[in-house]
Structures are given as structure tokens and as C-alpha cells.
Amino acid sequence: MFILIGLGVVLACVFGSFVASGGAIGPLLASMPFELLTILGAAVGTFVMANSIGAVKHLPAGIKKAMKGSQYTRQDYLELLGLLFHVTKLAAAKGMMAIESHIEDPQGSTVFGAFPKIRDNEHVCSFICDYLRMAGMNATDPFQMDDVMGRELKKNLREEMHLPHALQSVSDALPALGIVAAVLGVIKTMASISKPPIVLGEMIAGALVGTFLGILLAYGIVAPIAGRLGGVVEEEASYLDLVRSVIVAHLQGNAPQVSVEIGRKSIPSDLMPTFQEVEESLSAVAVN
């Protein structure tokens, strides 16, 4: 939503100031379709050449993600802390074997059933169960577990950041593609050098539209979208990093309450619940 608001401000200020200062919008609009075809067509072609088919297919979903923002809210973090608290509490009280049935069948688990949003998130649920399963197989060295989980999280982040980086590369290329469109317009103008000055003036103006659009698209549209998408990816990565923090803290021998508090401290500041909110959330959920 904020991307659309920002885009509206950009376009209103750019074109509004142009018209308000006495600029003629007619020649600009007349040349724009052809210049956009040249610039955007070349940009799409370079994007396809530089990326795999998977990245191309994920582009619509990536732009949608940038528009919507992170899928995780403060309440989602509270629920994740609640799930991890009850799992680690059960493991601390009865041993890792006590949680085996829960991690082998999350859909039928009473613990995971108390947090259906996490249970139904296949990626998050699998991540939690995989590492709790490893801990149940005597992989209880907290330093080793921290290293293994950290490497997977870095790998996931690197893969998710590919699309923002690809869009940023397109943004970097757009000003040059705008110059390409402008040069084509100049070539067209020079081929008509015998025409009256008023005609040549309109043709030169049309050629300069290419440079204008290339710069506007790069720094006013594509680069902000790439930056926002990268920010959303990093925000969502912190959700799984919370799982790492709590499991490692548990393996270090901390009490469930302490492990959860250590995990809470790793949550981004704008989404981090207070200590009291976590306590109230934990006491409000009854798990059999």
C-alpha cells in the first residue's frame, strides 16, 4: 500500500511540477508509448537473459510481496514464542522423547494444534520440527546446532535476496536503456534534418523523453520496489531466526522462560512484544 502511495506522490510531483511550470504535456504523452516500448522491452529482455526461469516466474509474487509487506505481525511472533515455550517446556520436563510424537505428526499434535497458523505454515513448521528432531537424535551441542541453523538461514536469505538484487540490476540498467531510446530518437531526427525547425524541435523533445523515462523508471519506481522487497525478505528471515535463538538457548540448558526471553530479544524492534505481553500470551494458551 505504501508503495502505491509513494508512487502516486512521485508521479504527481514530477508531472505536476512540469505542467505547473508551463510545460506542454502533449508532446510528452505522444512520445511516451514508443519510448516505454523501447525501454521496458529492453529491460524485460535483459532481466530474462540475466536470470533463471525460476526467478522470472517469481517476479509477480515478489512484486506482490513488496506491495503487501511482511506476512508476520507482532501477534505472529507472540504465537511462535508460545509454541516454542510449550515445546521446550515439555522437553525440559520429560526429555526430548516426549516431543517426538508432536514433531513427527504436527497436524495431530495438541501443541501445534494450539497454534494452527504455525502448524499450517509448511516451511516454518518443517524448520522447527527438523531441528527439534536433530536435537532428539543427540545433536545437543548448542554451538554445532547454532552453526548448522545459521548456515541454513543464510542460504535461505541468499536465495530469497536474489530477486531484489536482480531488480536492482535492472534499475541500474534503465538510465542507459533510456539513453539508447534517446539516441534512436536523435538518429530519427537527424534523418529528417531538412524539415522545418518546429518539426525538428518536437522530434528532439520526443527523443529526450527516453532519457527522462529511463531515469524516472530507475530511481523513482524499480529501485524503490527492489529496496522494499529486500527489506521484506530480511524482515521475514528474522521470524525463523527466532526459532534458532530459542532452540540454541534451550540446548544451552536455559529454562523455557529464559529461552523464550532470549528469543524475544532477537525480534525486530518494531515488532518485538514486551515481556508482559509475552507472559500474558503464554498464560492465555492452554496446551494439553
Residue tagged 516454518 (cell numbers): 124
How does DSSP assign 195-245, residue by residue?
S-HHHHHHHHHHHHHHHHHHHHHIIIIIHHHHHHHHHHHHHHHHHHHHHHH
pLDDT digits (tens, 9 = 90+) for 202-213: 778 778 888 999
- pTM for this model (two decimals): 0.85
The residue with greater pLDDT, 193 or 227, is: 227
Mean pLDDT of the residues in the chain:
89
- pLDDT score of 39: 93
| pLDDT tens profile 94-115 | 888 888 888 999 998 889 988 9
**137 or 81, which is more confident?**
81
| pLDDT computed for residue 203 by the predictor | 79
SS3 call for 81: helix
DSSP summary character for residue 274: P
More confident residue, 21 or 220: 220
Band of pLDDT at residue 201, cut at 50, 70 and 90: confident
User: Quick one: pLDDT at residue 143?
Assistant: 92
Residue 236: C-alpha distances to residues 131, 132, 273, 274 (Å): 19, 21, 16, 20
pLDDT value of residue 286? 63
What is the 8-class DSSP label of residue 96? G
Q: Which region among 186-190, 213-217, 229-233 has the lowest average model confidence (pLDDT)?
A: 186-190
What is the sign, positive or negative, of the torsion defined by CA atoms of 35, 37, 41, 43? Answer: positive
Per-residue pLDDT tens digits for 232-253: 999 999 999 999 999 999 999 9
If one counts every other C-beta atom within 10 angstroms of the C-beta of residue 16, the result is 11
